[in-house]
Amino acid sequence: MNQTKHWSKIALATLVLVSVVACGKSRQVKISASDVTRATTPAKLPADIEKLWKNRQNEQDLRQVLVSLEKFAIENPQYTDVKVMLCRGNYLMSDGHLWLKLTGDADDDAKVKEESIQFYDAAVNWCEAALAMNPKFRDKVVKDGLEVEKALDVLGPEDIDALYWRYASLAKWSRLVGFTTLLSNRSKFSAMVNRVKEIEKAMGKEYFYAATLRYDAASNALSPTGDKKLADKLFEEAIAKHPNYFAVRVLYAESRLKGNEDKFKKQLEFVLKGKPSSLPEIEADQIVEQRKAKKLLDEL
């Protein structure tokens, strides 16, 4: 963790502060002012980094690869895909490995949650760095001084990964920080996901296993004023579209089915019996979701 913090500080030192989120607990939005040209091909990562990334279902491998990826990203700032990997890797550390350490005891969980907040914040920062590789977006934020959410119209298909995972990371960061912060950022979540939907429409295909459909389901499930019946309907639609994508079943069970033991068990047992390799590109993430499913069942 100390190494990760070390490289994070170096990376953030190369960024320029352009705005601060107000209301609730604030986080600094950092967008690079450099004019590095985005590479047109993915980065060719060293074999040891590739191996660690493939095994990111192991916490120590993920911690180690985050250090290596940060070093690589600093030395090779042209690769947007590496910045997105760092965003998703930091997200997985919080949403997966650290979530699994939560016990329900306030004192024990306090340190875990604080570390989770730091990883989610790092995830947001790396996604913002990836978005800044779009020169039109960067100019709007840096030169024109617009908020990130006011500059989303210039983002396209090549930016959708960074945009979606920025939303996901900022949403989880906000929820952990507290209700006031979550409430103050709701409009930001909507703006980002709406732009993802527009890009999906332009591409003619959905993004990442019905990601925006899951957003609509979760936002209704988790909001005090959300339509719970609609949430259930949307979760079921997302599951029907991608039955082997475990995360949606875990989220559905955790957010909506705790009062219905049969349905709760049905979704989570499906995950436990499933094959993570059914979606090879995210096999490691699937393994982590299986562990989350087991934890929820054990706590029943």
Rounded Cα distance between 26 and 184, Å, is 10
CB 177 within 8 A of CB 25: yes
Residue 236: what are its φ and ψ, rounded to 5°?
A: -65, -40
- pLDDT-derived band at 30 (thresholds 50, 70, 90) equals confident
* Percentage, residues of the chain above pLDDT 90: 87
Q: Distance between terminal CA atoms of the chain?
A: 32
* Helix or strand run (H / E) with residue 30: strand 28-31
Taking only the tens place, the pLDDT of each residue in 67-76 is 999 999 999 9
Q: How far is CA 199 from the centre of its chain?
A: 18
Q: 3-class DSSP state for residue 20?
A: strand
Rounded Cα distance between 117 and 40, Å, is 33
Return the closest-CA partner of residue 38 out of 125, 119, 136.
136
- pLDDT-derived band at 25 (thresholds 50, 70, 90) equals low
CB 250 within 8 A of CB 288: no
pLDDT mean over 4-13: 43
294: CB partners within 8 A, 6+ apart: 268, 272
What CATH number should be reported for the domain whose range is 45-205? Answer: 1.25.40.920
Q: In this model, does residue 18 exceed pLDDT 60? A: no
DSSP 146: -
Which two three-digit tokens encode residue 213?
């459909």
Report pLDDT for 74.
Answer: 95
Taking only the tens place, the pLDDT of each residue in 114-139 is 999 999 999 999 999 999 999 999 99
Residue 104: what are its φ and ψ, rounded to 5°?
A: 95, -10
Rounded Cα distance between 219 and 225, Å, is 10
- pLDDT-derived band at 35 (thresholds 50, 70, 90) equals confident
- pLDDT-derived band at 253 (thresholds 50, 70, 90) equals very high
Rounded Cα distance between 38 and 280, Å, is 27
pLDDT mean over 77-104: 97
**Angle 59-75/47-54 helices, nearest 10 degrees?**
140
Rounded Cα distance between 113 and 117, Å, is 6
Report pLDDT for 250.
Answer: 98
- pLDDT-derived band at 33 (thresholds 50, 70, 90) equals low
Rounded Cα distance between 295 and 293, Å, is 5
Taking only the tens place, the pLDDT of each residue in 200-245 is 999 999 999 999 999 999 999 999 999 999 999 999 999 999 999 9
- pLDDT-derived band at 32 (thresholds 50, 70, 90) equals low
Q: What is the number of alpha carbons within 13 Å of residue 68 lying toward its C-beta?
A: 16
Rounded Cα distance between 159 and 207, Å, is 12
Q: In this model, does residue 12 exceed pLDDT 80? A: no
pLDDT mean over 87-97: 98
Q: In this model, does residue 94 exceed pLDDT 50? A: yes
CA distance to 38, 140, 219, per residue, from 209 (Å)? 26, 30, 17
Q: Where are the domains of the chain?
A: 45-205, 209-299
